[in-house]
């Protein structure tokens, strides 16, 4: 698993577990015709799925419909179990932006059979992350704006104020199940506008027009 950079000093931080929250924006739930859940939908991505901008996205051979899902990503800086929502922000060291790539056709087939999503969500290069900014640099984390452009075309726009489960709620929920450790990453859910990516695509991510990242999709071998 690659280390990530915490700006502005380019501090290298070894990453830990990759946690992901699904179905956290109403319009995204509606576009996929899913149900709104009473609690966060939590899943994991394997260590080998995480990449930074130094590596290209590799589409899995078993899927013809890999979707981009742009998300705010949190870097945990302090260990905690059963963290309260009031204390949650104290455990966040950095904030970045990333892609939770999803083999949608595979996910649909697995979901219809009642099977786990790992093959659809955990393939090589399925978790892409930018550098990270110190959380205090971004101020109010409840109003973070972010975008994704694919080949220059605006595909997704999001704002953390539209989350069903807020950032403090997410941290509190995960830590009620398992201890969070420094270096853990938390993908917080994607807004509507998810769509297929193809070989040769260029994906440009932006968080508050301060933090930027670019990923390209490799040609199939």
State pLDDT tens for residues 30-87: 887 788 888 999 999 999 999 999 999 999 999 999 999 999 999 999 999 999 999 9
CATH code for position 177: 3.90.850.10
For residue range 3-25, list pLDDT tens digits in order: 999 999 999 999 999 999 999 99
At a CB cut-off of 8 Å and minimum separation 6, what does 119 contact? 62, 103, 106, 110
In a domain, 221, yes or no: no
Rounded CA gap, 7 and 153, in Å? 28
For residue range 131-187, list pLDDT tens digits in order: 999 999 999 999 999 999 999 999 999 999 999 999 999 999 999 999 999 999 999
pLDDT number for residue 207: 98
In a domain, 211, yes or no: yes
In a domain, 78, yes or no: yes
Residues paired with residue 95 on neighbouring β-strands, in sequence order: 74, 133
Nearest to 108 by CA among 92, 122, 120: 120
pTM over 0.85: yes
pLDDT number for residue 32: 79
In a domain, 66, yes or no: yes
Whether residue 215 is predicted with pLDDT greater than 90 in this model: the reply is yes
In a domain, 162, yes or no: yes
Residue 10 has which token pair? Answer: 């380019």
In a domain, 178, yes or no: yes
pLDDT number for residue 26: 87
Helix locations, 37-164, DSSP H: 104-112, 118-121, 135-138
Domain count across the chain = 1
Whether residue 1 is predicted with pLDDT greater than 80 in this model: the reply is no
Query: What is the phi-psi region of residue 120: left when phi exceeds 0, alpha when psi lies from -120 to 50, beta otherwise?
Result: alpha
Domain that holds residue 129: 4-216
Whether the bond between 59 and the residue before it is cis, its omega within 30 degrees of 0, is: no
């Amino acid at each position: 698993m690659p280390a990530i950079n915490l700006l502005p000093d380019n501090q290298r931080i070894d990453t830990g577990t990759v946690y992901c929250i699904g179905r956290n924006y109403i319009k995204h739930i509606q576009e996929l015709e899913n149900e709104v859940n009473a609690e966060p939908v939590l899943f994991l991505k394997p260590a080998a799925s995480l990449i930074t901008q130094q590596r290209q996205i590799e589409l899995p051979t078993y899927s013809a419909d890999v979707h981009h899902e742009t998300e705010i990503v949190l870097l945990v800086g302090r260990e905690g179990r059963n963290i309260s929502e009031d204390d949650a922000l104290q455990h966040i060291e950095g904030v970045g932006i990333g892609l939770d790539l999803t083999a949608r056709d595979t996910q649909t087939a697995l979901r219809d059979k009642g099977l786990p999503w790992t093959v659809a969500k955990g393939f090589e290069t399925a978790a892409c992350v930018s550098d990270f900014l110190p959380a205090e640099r971004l101020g109010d984390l409840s109003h973070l704006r972010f975008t994704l452009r694919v080949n220059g075309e605006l595909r997704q726009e999001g704002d953390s104020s539209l989350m069903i489960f807020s950032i403090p709620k997410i941290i509190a929920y995960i830590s009620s199940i398992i201890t969070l450790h420094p270096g853990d990453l938390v993908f917080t859910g994607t807004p509507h506008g998810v769509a297929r990516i193809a070989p040769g695509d260029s994906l440009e991510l932006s968080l508050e027009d301060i933090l930027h990242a670019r990923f390209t999709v490799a040609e199939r071998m």
